[in-house]
Structure 1
Amino acid sequence: MTTIREVAKLAGYSPATVSRAINHSGYVSAKAAAKIQAVIAQLDYVPNDIARDLSQGRTANVGVVVPHLNHPYFTQVFNGILTAAFAADYNVVLLQSKYDADLERGYLEQLHRKAFDALIFTSRAIPLSELAAARKYGPIICCEDPGDYPLAAAYSQRATAYQAAFHWIQAQGYRHIGLTFSRSDKLSATTRLTLATYATTFGHAPAADLVALGVTTFADGYQAAQTWTTQASQPDFIFSNGDDIAAGIRQFYVDHQLTVPPLMGQENQLSGRLLGLPTIDHHFQQVGAAAFHLAASRQVAHVPVAAELILR
């Protein structure tokens, strides 16, 4: 691959002069510019954008760590990041983690090596303390409330919407609530918050046999409903972690000619709107856009986005 030094040698000018001519970053005489352009055409020289960006201290690349794209939380946050990055002429690199801590540490090392200008963690397996310690490598943004850790963060303020949702469910007279989650409360701050809000509202924890874990898709919701219908204890209301998941739950009851219990979804998806389901919109696209702006600006700030209970 032709280098800028080879262009300079053949043109008879210094590499600095050639660089100024290519990047239009300083004075170059018309004679020198013409000669340099002729040599560039002769050698079919293409500037090394990566080397140039690194010399300027930026790559215009933002890495986004995503465990998977099976749940609308991740697709909506990622779309928000992508839209904001496109408008700002940044590239977005999708980094799948599968909740593997070693993979996540590898992405932190790539940040250390300047492969990215910043990393956005939509979710994580490694502790927040480790992310905070890695800030010396470059900007790190998380999509959850980091508490006292000195991390930039954009996240949905879920608590108020969860409180409103559970109070509404309670006011309708429902007492045996089925709940679906993607991960256990030991691993997920969202699950912990949901369970804590439930306990505060109803005065007790939900029945263990009415809590379904590992639920992220329509098919998972279908399976959760199948499991519940084999139990002695049946839910009289189901609070799901996604409208598509709620649709999967509903479909099992419909397919087996069973009475469909009342349902609430989350994320205000098309499926929920078509079925007329109450839902919680966490405005995750706004969260994603805010996370990108924090990455691009290198600000260490918190940007909470209010969630919204939508009753239908």
Structure 2
Amino acid sequence: MTNIHDIARLSGYSVSTVSRVLNNSGYLSDTARNKIQKIIEEQDYVPNDVARDLSRGKTYNVGIVLPHTKHPYFTHLIKGIMETAFAKGYHVVLLPSLYNADIENQYLEQLRRKSYDALIFTSRGIPLKRLLKYQKYGSIICCENPGDYQIAAAYSLRSKTFTEAFSYVKNQGYHEIGILLSRPRESSTTSSLTLASYEAVYGATPKIINTSVTTYQDGYNAMAGFQKNEKKPDFIFANGDDVAAGARQYYLDNELSVPAMMGQENQLSGNILNIPTIDHHFHEVGRKAMELAISGEIKMIPINSELIKR
């Protein structure tokens, strides 16, 4: 197989001169450029990207670990990440995990083997402590507050806004709150923050809750479950505007009175339905996470979230 040294020998020019042709950099005479280019075409030579990356110590690839793309949290993050990556000349590799710790450990091993310059964990199934062990192999960024762990992070400040939201709901006179979450409290930072904020405002643990809701259809099915178990919330606190839309549709399809609702992520559906929502600005979180991946800095970047009343 032809390599750059063969091209240099056949053309009569140095390896560094051939490299300038391949990278279209530096000054070269037309004679030298044309001769080297002719040899490259005759030999059907293609540079080895892996070898190039190893030589320069950089792949310009960033792995994005995400459990799924069913919820706008992940799609908004990815949009922000990709916009920044494109502008900076980086490639983004999506790494699905389904919260499987074994799979996530495989991605960490790939970072150790220099498959990526950095990994961004949009969410995770492994402990933060595990991430610390791999920081010496490349940048690792999480999209949550890492607390006392010295891990680079970009994340939305949600606790204050969740508390503000539940206070708003309580002040409207609602007390039977149906809360829709994607995962149980013990395995999700978001669920933990949501429930802690509810308890701070209402002084009690919520009685009407579903912790397996991610999509429009899940919202619809959750209401069917509430109805079957004779749970009658007067307000639905959904983890997405589309989820709230699914919940609303269940009541309409079954000719039931639709309770008041609040969504999250400021989606088009929430605007159309004119329901209050919380915008966590995950697009901006994604942008900042990618900037950290590129810079290699270990610092925390909090982004304010926002309650939108309608």
Q: CA deviation at 1:84?
A: 1.2
Q: CA deviation at 1:231?
A: 2.3
Q: Could you tell me which residue of structure 2 aligns to residue 64 of structure 1?
A: 64
Distance 2:38 2:249 in 1: 68
Q: Could you tell me which residue of structure 2 aligns to residue 46 of structure 1?
A: 46
Give ranges in structure 1 of 5+ residues lacking alignment.
none
Distance 2:128 2:189 in 1: 12
Distance 2:17 2:27 in 1: 8
Q: Could you tell me which residue of structure 1 aligns to residue 168 of structure 2?
A: 168
1:305 equivalent to 2:308? Answer no
Q: CA deviation at 1:280?
A: 0.3
Q: What's the secondary structure of 1:186's corresponding residue?
A: helix
Q: Could you tell me which residue of structure 2 aligns to residue 247 of structure 1?
A: 245
Q: Could you tell me which residue of structure 2 aligns to residue 214 of structure 1?
A: 212
Q: Could you tell me which residue of structure 2 aligns to residue 291 of structure 1?
A: 289
1:115 equivalent to 2:131? Answer no
Letter in 2 for 1:177: I
Q: Could you tell me which residue of structure 1 aligns to residue 102 of structure 2?
A: 102
Letter in 1 for 2:117: D
Q: What's the secondary structure of 1:191's corresponding residue?
A: helix
Aligned pairs for 1:184-263 within 5 A: 184-207=184-207, 210-263=208-261
Q: Could you tell me which residue of structure 2 aligns to residue 125 of structure 1?
A: 125
CA displacement, residues 255-291 of structure 1 (integer Å, 9 cap, x when unaligned): 0000000010000000010000100000110000010
Percent identity among equivalent residues? 55
Q: What's the secondary structure of 1:84's corresponding residue?
A: helix
Letter in 1 for 2:35: K
Would you say how many aligned residue pairs link Structure 1 and Structure 2?
310
Give ranges in structure 2 of 5+ residues lacking alignment.
none
CA displacement, residues 133-182 of structure 1 (integer Å, 9 cap, x when unaligned): 11011000000000111111001100111011010111111111100110
Q: What's the secondary structure of 2:242's corresponding residue?
A: helix
Q: CA deviation at 1:23?
A: 2.9
Distance 1:273 1:34 in 2: 59
Q: CA deviation at 1:233?
A: 3.3
Distance 1:268 1:25 in 2: 46
Q: Could you tell me which residue of structure 2 aligns to residue 183 of structure 1?
A: 183
Distance 2:309 2:286 in 1: 25
Q: CA deviation at 1:9?
A: 2.6
Name the stretch that deviates more: 197-206 or 17-26: 17-26
CA displacement, residues 88-142 of structure 1 (integer Å, 9 cap, x when unaligned): 1111111100111111111111111111111100000000000111101100000
Distance 1:236 1:32, change over 3 A: same
Q: CA deviation at 1:18?
A: 2.4
Distance 1:27 1:271 in 2: 56
Distance 1:25 1:263 in 2: 59
CA displacement, residues 212-244 of structure 1 (integer Å, 9 cap, x when unaligned): 011000000000000111223311111010000
